[in-house]
Amino acid sequence: MTASASSGNAGFINFLSIHPLLGIGVMLLFGYALARLVQRIGLPEITGFILAGLIMGGGGFAIVGETAADDLAVITEIALGIIALTIGGELRVAKLKRIYHSVAWITAGQFALTFVLVAVFLTLASVPLPFVLLLGAVATSTSPAAVVSVVRSTRARGSFVDQLFGTVALGDAVTIAVFGVVLAMLPVMIGAQAAVAELVFDSISDLSVSIVLGVLLGFLIYFTTRSEQNPGEVLILTLGFLFLSTAMAVSFGLSPLLMNMAAGAALVNFSASGGRVMRALEPLTPPIYALFFVIAGTKLNPAILFSAEVLLLGSLFIVGRWLGKYFGSFGGAVVAGSEPGVRNWLGMGLFAQAGVALGLVLLLEAAPELHHIPALPPGIVRTAINVVLMSVFVNEISGPPIAKYAIARALKLEER
The string over 185-216, giving b where at least 16 C-beta atoms fall within 10 Å of a residue's C-beta and e elsewhere, is bbbebbeeeeeeeebbeebeebbebbbebbbe
Average pLDDT rounded to a whole number, residues 268-293: 78
Supply the CATH number for residue 161's domain: 1.20.1530.20
Residue 3 C-alpha from the chain's centroid:
39
The torsion angle over the Cα atoms of residues 80, 84, 86 and 87, rounded to 10 degrees, is 130
Average pLDDT rounded to a whole number, residues 335-360: 84
Same domain (yes/no): 164, 295 = yes
Same domain (yes/no): 219, 81 = yes
Tens digits of per-residue pLDDT, 46-102?
A: 788 888 888 887 766 667 666 665 667 778 788 878 878 887 877 777 777 777 888
Average pLDDT rounded to a whole number, residues 387-397: 83
Single residue among 15, 46, 72 that ends a domain in this structure:
72
Does residue 364 register a pLDDT over 70? Answer: no
* Alpha-carbon span 80 to 85, nearest angstrom: 8
Q: Supply the pLDDT for residue 202.
A: 66
Single residue among 49, 72, 95 that ends a domain in this structure:
72
Closest to 380 in 3D by CA, of 313, 321, 320, 305: 313
* Alpha-carbon span 289 to 46, nearest angstrom: 9
Same domain (yes/no): 128, 252 = yes
> Which band of pLDDT confidence, cut at 50, 70 and 90, is reported for residue 156?
confident
Angstrom distances, CA of residue 173 to CA of 144, 169, 204, 256: 11, 6, 12, 11
Does residue 16 register a pLDDT over 70? Answer: no
CA neighbours closer than 13 Å in the CB half-sphere of residue 326: 14
Q: Supply the pLDDT for residue 105.
A: 92
Same domain (yes/no): 341, 223 = yes
pTM over 0.85: no
As a whole number, the mean pLDDT across the chain is 79
> Which band of pLDDT confidence, cut at 50, 70 and 90, is reported for residue 112?
very high
Same domain (yes/no): 246, 206 = yes
Same domain (yes/no): 170, 28 = no
Same domain (yes/no): 346, 209 = yes
What's the number of domains the chain is made of?
A: 2
Q: Whole domain around residue 25: which residue ranges?
A: 3-72
Name the least confident of 68-82, 183-197, 333-347.
Answer: 183-197
Same domain (yes/no): 121, 240 = yes
Q: Where are the alpha helices (DSSP H) in 226-304?
A: 231-251, 256-270, 274-281, 285-298
Single residue among 72, 93, 115 that ends a domain in this structure:
72
Q: Taking the chain, what is the end-to-end CA distance rounded to the nearest angstrom?
A: 56
Please name the helix (run of DSSP H) or strand (run of DSSP E) that holds residue 360, with its range, or none. helix 355-365
Same domain (yes/no): 235, 286 = yes
Name the least confident of 39-48, 188-197, 315-324, 333-342.
Answer: 188-197
Q: Decide: residue 158, CB within 10 A, 0-12 exposed, 13-18 middle, 19+ buried.
A: middle
The most confident of 74-83, 373-382, 404-413, by mean pLDDT: 404-413
Q: Supply the pLDDT for residue 118.
A: 94
* Alpha-carbon span 137 to 203, nearest angstrom: 15
Q: Supply the pLDDT for residue 245.
A: 86
Same domain (yes/no): 263, 400 = yes
Is residue 334 within 8 A of residue 343, CB to CB? The reply is yes
**CB contact set of 37 (below 8 Å; sequence gap of 6+):** 48
Same domain (yes/no): 159, 173 = yes
Same domain (yes/no): 130, 210 = yes
